[in-house]
Structure 1
Amino acid sequence: MHAFHEAISDCALQDLGWRGVPFTCDNRQQGNMNVKARLDRAFANADFLQMFEFSIVKHISSVESDHCFLLAECRATAAMGWSRATQSFRYENVWQSHADYDEKVRKMWQSGAGQGGLQGIVDALSMVQSELGAWGHKEFWNMERRVRKLQKRLERLRTAAIGCGPNDEERVVASQLREALRQEEIWLKQRSRVLWLHAGDRNTSYFQAQARQRKRINRITSLELADGHVSSDPGEVKEEITHFYHALYQSQGYNPMEGLLQCVQPRVTDDMNYTLEREYTAADVKIALFDMAPSKAPGVDGFTAGFYQRHWDGGRYHFGYLEFFERRRITFGTE
């Protein structure tokens, strides 16, 4: 089994998942002797998934064999009925590589920050959010296509320059291609959520494969409803998700805890309590911010920790958040 896993890893194959019963083999024995396991699987490499991104594998029960049939449906497009959700703002780390990025953000921030404190941060972030997304889409739209065009252009120049050294145009195109490849790698790394591998070493293929695998894992195509029925109908799935979270966050009432707390022995010393209750400082906010991974999932405003880390200047953000800790009151939009 260890050798099998090594072979899967060496070939860079990815499990395509499954639908149907959660096993492919049933030994048909009674009682404690019964064994069910998912022994049969379907794998594919990154090139296959790029061509058939929406492929699915179904487990089909058999009455003649102790193994299920595996039916692989190779799909290049999503099934009918599933519509793409409205694209919300998402901050892209690759925007930071643009020469005009810092100046653009500074002007957007100044035009939106009419107030001080936490409310001023909310207004400024709203302004940056409304303008930065459109600017980023314009400047970095379809980076893969830009890389391909630059590669073809460089090949033509080098083919035409056989017998002589590189000219100025070839050097410029090579520099542009190098930068385009770096930007593409940053963009893919953010989607792959790989934290241990750094951009800059031409890990584009790896990041692309990881991002595609994450997208497959996170895609919801069917859901087990409350009655145990598995549904692939988009309307039923959305209704079930809405009902689940409505019930999850609904108030269940309040029970006094004083009697229970009297039985709990205190473990927090006076010194520990003093540390916990002391006023927060700008240094505390900075330490907490820079301890975060810059490319992890963004907040509800679409900004990652990398945005705040990039623009931390010792005074732009932390005064607003210190105001929150002092007043114990949060402004809508800063969650």
Structure 2
Amino acid sequence: MHGSEHFSRNPRPEWQMRAFREVIEDCSLQDVGWTGVPFTWDNRQAGQANVKSCLDRALENEEFLQRYEHISVRHISTTESDHCLVLAEFRKTLNGVRPRPKQLRYENVCQSHVDYDKIITESWLQNQASNGLQGVVDSLQSLQRDLEPWGAKEFGCLAKKVRKLQQKLYKLRRQSVGRGPSTEEKSIVKQLREALRQEETWMRQSSRVRWLKEGDWDTAYFHAQAAQRKRINKIANLRRLDGSVCVNEEDDKCEVQAFYQNLDTSQGLCDLGELLDFVPEKVTMGVNELLTNPFSSEEVREALFHMAPSKAPGVYGFTAGFSSVI
């Protein structure tokens, strides 16, 4: 698919790789990804005659991605064949992993509720015991406690809600053959329309697809994007510098702590004056004075409103979209 997946003294023509990528896109497939050795085929020749390439890969469509949440592909070296073994494992649930408590993640769909402004205002004012930044922190903590059960009660599982409404509408329309829609049927249609809009808003935020506007009602696509992003961001295990793998949560904590301790440890100071003499000046005195000036509330507001609404969740789980609303 890409030039980095082929090694030889003669590079792979770009038009061939582009044609392969277009075929995958036309078939609505996407690469699963892999772990292990980077090339699945090696001609075992010596010197400049050696050629390596990633010929074998695993692809998936949206239906497969929705059915199996946990998918992993490994390249396993062999002694007899010039190809690697490709081992694909897929499970609906991930065994051996203890669920961790989830932090509140603010959902844009909450803004569609008729009582949203009232809930936010009351919770914010009732629990603001202090002034200044401490008061903001107190209000955010209270909102975190209040919004989670309220959102679960009012919205619940939107996909299940949509299915139930569709089933009700199906039964009502079967019973209304030969006559116009009843009052109950009109009410169910209105509820279903709103539930579909809420489901799309929720899936769109989960998928982080910003270049599509709400209103397409293509929730299957959004779900596939969200599942793909979740799998890409998933860390299966941590590997130490010596090649060994962390086997439990305590090992993971120690490895992460050691990594950042080494990263932040000073390597010693040296005179950089001679090196800096050759670096062109980019930040002038005027620019430096502008950058060091105290920021104003208008600058904060402008920066906040230019952020994507579903991005940058803070410590308490509230995104930029929530901050711009309040």
State the TM-score, normalized to the length of structure 1.
0.84
The yes-or-no answer on 1:22 pairing with 2:23 is no
Q: 1:78 aligns with which of 77, 90, 94?
A: 94
The yes-or-no answer on 1:67 pairing with 2:93 is no
1:31 positional shift: 2.3
Q: 2:243 aligns with which of 220, 224, 228?
A: 228
8 Å Cα contact 2:169/2:189 also seen in 1: yes
8 Å Cα contact 1:298/1:304 also seen in 2: yes
Identify unmatched segments of 5+ residues in structure 1. Answer: 312-335
2:162 corresponds to which residue? 147
Name the CA distance, whole Å, in 1 between partners of 2:282 and 2:299: 24
- Call closer, same or farther: CA 1:136–1:28 in 2, change over 3 Å: same
1:310 positional shift: 1.2
Identify unmatched segments of 5+ residues in structure 2. Answer: 1-16
Q: How many corresponding residue pairs?
A: 308
Partner deviation per Cα, 1:92-138 (whole Å, 9 max, x = no partner): 11111111111100001001222222221111111111211221122
Tell which deviates more after alignment, 129-138 or 177-186: 129-138
The yes-or-no answer on 1:53 pairing with 2:63 is no
Structure 2 letter corresponding to 1:211? A
Structure 2 letter corresponding to 1:92? E
- Call closer, same or farther: CA 1:269–1:259 in 2, change over 3 Å: closer
- Call closer, same or farther: CA 1:247–1:111 in 2, change over 3 Å: farther
Per the alignment, in what secondary structure is the counterpart of residue 86 of structure 1? coil
8 Å Cα contact 2:240/2:246 also seen in 1: no
Matches within 5 A, 1:23-38: 23-38=39-54
State the TM-score, normalized to the length of structure 2.
0.86
- Call closer, same or farther: CA 1:200–1:59 in 2, change over 3 Å: same
Tell which deviates more after alignment, 41-50 or 111-120: 111-120
8 Å Cα contact 2:42/2:51 also seen in 1: yes
The yes-or-no answer on 1:135 pairing with 2:150 is yes
The yes-or-no answer on 1:126 pairing with 2:141 is yes
8 Å Cα contact 1:24/1:67 also seen in 2: yes
Identity of aligned residues (%): 50
Matches within 5 A, 1:1-335: 1-80=17-96, 82-229=97-244, 231=245, 233-235=247-249, 236-249=251-264, 251-252=265-266, 255=269, 263=277, 267-311=282-326
8 Å Cα contact 2:62/2:221 also seen in 1: no
Partner deviation per Cα, 1:154-206 (whole Å, 9 max, x = no partner): 11111111111112111110111111111111111111111111222212111
Taking only aligned residues, the RMSD between alpha carbons, in angstroms, comes to 2.3
